[in-house]
Structure 1
Amino acid sequence: MLFFNSTKFTLWARNLGAIALLLSVAACQTNTATDSTTDSPGAPAADSDAALKLGTLFPLTGDLAQYGTTMQDTANLLVNTVNACDGVLGQPVQLVSEDDQTDPAAGASGMTKLAEVDRVAGVVGAAGSAVSSAAVDIAVRNKVVQISPSSTSPTFTDRAANGDFQGYWARTAPPDTFQGDALAQLAREQGINSVAVLAINNDYGNGLVQAFIPAFKELGGTVVNESNPTKYAENATTFDSELSAAFGGDPDAVLIVAYLETGSLILQGAYEQGLLDGDTKVLLTDGMKSAEIAEKAGRTPDGTLIAAGVIGTAPSSEGGPALGDFRTLYQQQFNREPNVYDPNTWDAAAVMVLAAEAAKSTTGEAMQSKLMEVSNAPGQEVSDVCEALRLVREGTDINYQGASGTVEFNEQGDVVGAYDVWTITDEGELELTSVINVGD
């Protein structure tokens, strides 16, 4: 269900010409450091009277590139939109991009450059939880706000509760504790009583497995390899032994926690070993929610798609009050549908610019102090980012209503969410079948 507001759409359309012109400017800004100061790390990331400078840390290459490239496009679109309606504190927002390569070491290096060389006040990213884990301490040390659109490991909730992040971490996708609940509910709804786990051995995979097992057991299910879940290395390219271990106990279903590229190879391998010929179902997670899985996983000799019939969960694409306008603008700009975490990316960048405007300062420290004020109740509900900026400039308290959801952060920087149930049809289409609400 999409929420469309014709008045707001008129505002988007009026700004669209200016946005198109600004795209070339954003392209020049991306990957370009404009601040050459050499102040020591740990100081505020920008001068209070300087233009707001934000960074992105996305996987433009590597296993998550199919998500990271569109997330980068979305961040550019948000900045262009904001700059077309007078920017932040009367100056255009600057955007600096780093490719984390879906690699924690590259992510740490990228965050170091953004925080200590480019001197950004906030960073949108990373996508993968392992990369965010490698980057977040660098952000906190430099008083840089980091908001991830898609790092869902429960580890961040625990660390935030321990005070590790000092309010400089948040995310616009709900944690995997919620997705674990959604997967457990889905499995039981499908009549699945026993599940074996096959997961990538990183923060994403481990966190989701740790969330799923107790949730499924609480609903009366059995995880057949609970004491020793089957895991594979991030850089693995063959999975014969792992597949044999996961499917060997003849469970009702195998839960595969993977990203698109490696997950497609796992499905290919399962077919080649004859493991998909029986009654065992395949459950997937948000890391593989893409129509591309149909062709990437391949076909049988008779032309049947190997991935047809898989079923999984992902944060809901029904989104929040701003989704209709965001989707329209995105389609007009890029001539395609938004990707799974593009609305979350829009919202992550939006709350940063709104927080800076509310703080009347472009430092990370000032931005951090206003994040919850502009995104949480009370305040006037507003979903158009330009209208929200106008209200903030007038001194009105706002409650930003986003494209991915209502963006209500708790003290750990988490948001509550709903999950789509998705499948791949016999024709290779990604189809949403229902929604599971969790975390309320």
Structure 2
Amino acid sequence: MSRHEGLFRPWSLRELVTELTTRRTTPDAAAARARRRIEATDGELRAWVVQAEALDLTTSGPLGGVPLAVKDIIDLAGLPTRCGSPLRADAPPATADAAIVRAWRAAGAVPIGKTVTTEFAYFHPGPTHNPAAPGHTPGGSSSGSAAAVASGQVPLALGSQTAGSVTRPASFCGIAALVMSRGRFPVTGVTGFSPGLDSHGVFAATASDVALAWSALTGEPEAAPRPPRLLLWSGEKQAEVAPALRDGLSAVADRMRAAGAVVDAFPGESLVAQVAAAHPVVMAYEAARERAAELAQADRLSSPLATLLRTGAATPDADYEAARLVVAAAESDVVAWTAEYDAVIGPATPGPAPEGMAATGDPVLSRGWQALGLPVVTVPGLRDERGLPLGLQLVGRDRGETALLAAARWAEDVVCGTTAVVTR
């Protein structure tokens, strides 16, 4: 047995918010619980870079007092932003919060520290372990945030996604996450990677918890879950999907139909695969320019990041523009195909977390949707024959997070077996 077996113990955001609003607990007690859990588990999990010494617990808002973890590419006033890189080892404390941190504070969340990221949110792994799959990668780049939620150190954590940096760790760690529509919130105060691809993300134990968090952040009322209209996307034009995940998705689709949902085949498998192939070209080209200062010190970077930046610097403008055109040309077709549906549902990753800590897994099944800038919710609940988490993703319409989260909550109930079959 691994020495950190049994650390998968997510903390329900919805239950904590109920306890806070009914005064059965307090912000001080919630922060103390987070501190105790971190102290008890992080020597093994290594999800945290640094914790804040003092917390402002005089908070209001719908999340008033909820402990929040912040990925270490996102500025948090008073703490350094080291980006998982030796180039930032001596970074001074940030003088102000990132815009997204200010928005979460306004909703009542209490940031308690910074979580591990891969180097500049690319592929080089950090030290974080997977509490849901001992001996397997937690994914990346938002590895620390996903592990902190999956282990119950915090009920809410911030991430970011340029390729699959939220959907992949959520899937591998057996929790839920939301990738926001690109541009939904400003990225001021975030160390970016690819301006045309970067998006904010947030992790919580369940899709229900993520829906509550989103409502608190935006002020939009939660939409009631109901049987949705879905398009079923296999992802098999892009990757070899593990049999357990392929069969699990098929079984979930059957249960959804039996519970009253419409589940039709997605007609754009090949087109999304083309967009996914264009994504790395856009990412490398933009990253080489966004991270030009780091490119100038490439000999001090991890091999994956140095290679990417050098590749991007050598990419002709014409290749970048061609890749952008592929994405732009696909957007209208995807909008048309999804106009009468609530979401596209498919695998979040090709399979469970790969064994070992030397890599973070393949983001291939996120690339196409990320290039299109659409919101995505990762839904947990499936497991393979070894008990390893398998994630599904639901892709929504641009700026359609509230409706997407309602569909994801309903889907989560089906995956977990709590939705009744419709009798006709």
Same fold flag (TM > 0.5): no
Please report the TM-score for the alignment, with normalisation by the length of structure 1: 0.27
TM-score by length of 2: 0.28
Q: Which has the larger radius of gyration?
A: 1
